[in-house]
Structure 1
Amino acid sequence: MKISATSTVLVLGAGGRLGRQAAQAFAARGWRVLALSRRPLQAWPALLADRIVTVQGDALAGAALLSQQPELAQIDVIVHALNPHYARWATELPPLTEAVLALARATGATVMLPGNVYNFGRHLPSVLREDTPFVPDTPKAEQRIALEAALAAAAPTVRSIVIRAGDFLAPAGEGTETWLALGLGRRLKAGVFSPMGPPDILHAWAWLPDLAEVFARVAERRAALPAFSVWHYEGLSLSAEQWQQGLEAHLGQDLRTRPFAWWPLKVLALGSPLIRALVAMRYLWERPHRLEGRRLAELLGADLPRTPLQRVLAQAL
């Protein structure tokens, strides 16, 4: 374990999937963790509880949080794990971004943001590198591009790090909103596997404990990084065929294949902004893509975490 007794991280959105994992990853490496949430949080693991302080507050308060919570003035890193409502990004992302930047300016803390693949547009190429051009041809792409542009424009006054990753995979009990739970594996109990698109299409995934560990390890190297930097974490690049093989090996049984039914969602989308926003991202299951993570692997070396699929499944199901 790496001890960073003088370092403090503020995790915004500590009640969310990535936020909770990030708080635990930083604490396990010796950081003092301030876990901010608007609502009370469930108990932390006993071995980490003495390093994690739960703070109730609203991140939208920005720098005003310092008068409400004076302990926030001593933070070194801000993990921006806030997850606005999926159908309200257009209205909720800009004020959240400004609030986080205001807090970073007031404290001098480095902002760390989880990026995603939306920035590359509807026709994203099969290999995504840090210098792959952004294409703002969907609302979600426009919104995420604007978020990262705001961080870049704030440098060097605000230092920030974007770590881009694929769709989240979470441990059992924390993964009810992942595509493994809602899509591919939603009928596993009936012995059915539900591919979301063509069987041979690669799709980018990130096991959240690994991604959280990447955040902590990159944070420890932040002083040597540019004022604004972007890193790609490859995680697991898997096709539906590979998912099915992995699930069959884990379960010890063959699975029948029944493609995921998109048409009911299209009907429900007529009356639901949330489902309409989810259906709009169907292209990600029809375009092969993986994140090229060579630069991050060079930065972290042997410290780059990447849990094999069978170990992921053992903890996720």
Structure 2
Amino acid sequence: MSRPSATPTALVLGLTGAIGGAIAAALARRGFAIRALTRRPAGSRPAPGFAVDWRDGDARDAAAVRAAAEGVSLIVHGVNPPGYARWREDALPMLANTIAAAKAAGATILFPGNVYVYSSASPALVNETTPRRPTTRKGQVRLEMEEMLEQAARDGVPVIAIRAGDFFGPGVGNSWFAQALAKGGLRAKALQRLTQRGIGHAWAFVPDLAETFARLVDIGAGLPAYTVVNFAGHYDASGHDMTDAVRRVTGRPDLPVKPFPWIMLWLAAPFVRFMREALEMRWLWKQSLALDNRKLVGLLGTEPHTPRDEAVRAALGAAG
């Protein structure tokens, strides 16, 4: 095991993505040195507003991940296969690489989870003990990833995992909020309603989620080896809370709200893999699913929570 430096270092896999970048920023504010592994050439890397020790490499390369993790105390596993594709082929090996690197470095893993481990048979309010019985391919992969992390914790690798709803916020361009609900952002000519009225949906404002990770890191040794909590985020209980917020923020109360054209996904599904994969998760838009955050609040006292209109205002810039 390598000896850590005086300044704690976090290796971020997926720093160029929304959640990886947000967690990195929250950790940097707390004095962590940030290291990132990326395939992007130097000229196309973002300038996040804090110092980054960039390392060339791929999260699918076990040796590259292990080398980048030398001396770190945290590894943020914020990387996913793009475009809803190759989850089993890439997501499982990438997580295995992170676990092996964390074990070698003596590091804690930070893992952003999601609600894919649940299913249409789940209750409308889920907590950390709700049975995980996914019925989709991506849900099964996410369950296997959680089981890998549980085993890693039993083997001595501390894990902090947070399950959250659909991401939205600054920098979150590839999301249901930015690409469907409020496509066009502040310049949107119409909004799209993804659920029927009365169907609730969980949304996670990424800066709040990142701050939650950082506050759990602050607790440090006071946490169990495997810590998994649910993040309530912004729950749209009515099915139109989010579109109402966009109308308020834009000052356009008459901005049209149209049903999302799911039929277009059905028509394209035989030819476009992304459409098939997106349709597989449609159950999350057909029934209510909220996350019970009482365990998280018990640990932190409160869940970081930006007011809805403020969060939507920040997200609309990413949707533009």
TM-score w.r.t. length of structure 1: 0.90
- 1:182 equivalenced with 2:183 (yes/no): no
SS class of match (2:89): helix
The yes-or-no answer on 1:231 pairing with 2:229 is yes
Shift in alpha-carbon separation, 1:30–1:190, aligned structure 2, 3 A? closer
1:77 corresponding residue in structure 2: 74
% identical equivalent positions: 38
Which secondary structure state, in structure 1, belongs to the residue aligned with residue 193 of structure 2? coil
Local SS of the residue matching 2:275: helix
Mapped contact 1:120–1:135 kept (Cα < 8 A): yes
| Cα distance in 2, alignment partners of residues 190 and 100 from structure 1 | 40
Q: Contact 2:190/2:257 (CA < 8 Å) preserved in 1?
A: yes
Shift of 1:131: 0.5
Whole-Å Cα distance in 1 between the matches of residues 204 and 97 of structure 2? 27
Alpha carbons 1:38, 1:56 under 8 Å: kept? yes
Q: How far apart, in 1, do the equivalents of 2:78 and 2:29 lie? A: 18
What residue is the counterpart of 1:168 in the other structure? 167
- SS for the counterpart of 1:284 is helix
Q: Is the 8 A contact 1:63 1:102 kept in 2?
A: no
Equivalent pairs, count: 304
**Residue pair 1:23, 1:35 contacting (<8 A) in 2 also:** no
Closer/same/farther in 2, CA of residues 187 and 59 from structure 1, 3 Å limit: closer
User: Matched residues in 2 for 1:93 and 1:9: separation?
Assistant: 21
Unaligned 5+ segments in structure 1 are none
- Which runs of structure 2 are paired with 1:1-317 in the superposition (5 Å)? 6-39=7-40, 40=42, 41-45=45-49, 48-49=50-51, 52-67=52-67, 69=68, 72-85=69-82, 86-156=84-154, 157-171=156-170, 174-186=171-183, 189=187, 191-238=189-236, 239-253=238-252, 254-302=254-302, 304-317=303-316
SS of equivalent residue, structure 1 residue 146: helix
Q: How much has 1:176 moved relative to structure 2?
A: 2.2
Once the two structures are TM-superposed, the CA of residue 293 in structure 1 deviates from its matched residue by 0.6
Equivalent position amino acid for 1:227 in 2: A
**Separation of aligned partners in 2, 1:119 and 1:97:** 16
Structure 2 counterpart of 1:282, which letter?
Answer: R
Paired amino acid for 2:61: A
Q: 2 CA distance for matches of 1:273 and 1:191?
A: 28
Instruction: Work out the CA distance in 1 between the residues paired with 2:152 and 2:65.
Output: 20
Q: Give the Cα separation in 2 of the matches to 1:237 and 1:33.
A: 32
Residue 175 of structure 1 and its aligned partner are, at CA, apart by 2.5
CA contact (8 A) 1:63 1:106 kept: no
Label 1:53 to 1:135 Cα distance change in 2 as closer, same or farther (>3 A).
same
Give the root-mean-square deviation of aligned CA atoms: 1.8
1:173-210 Cα shifts (integer Å, max 9, x gaps):
x2321111211112664542211120221111111111
Gaps of 5+ in 2: none
Between stretches 285-294 and 83-92, larger displacement belongs to 83-92
Does structure 2 retain, via aligned residues, the 8 Å contact 1:122–1:138?
no
Aligned equivalents of 1:178, 1:240: Cα separation in 2: 17
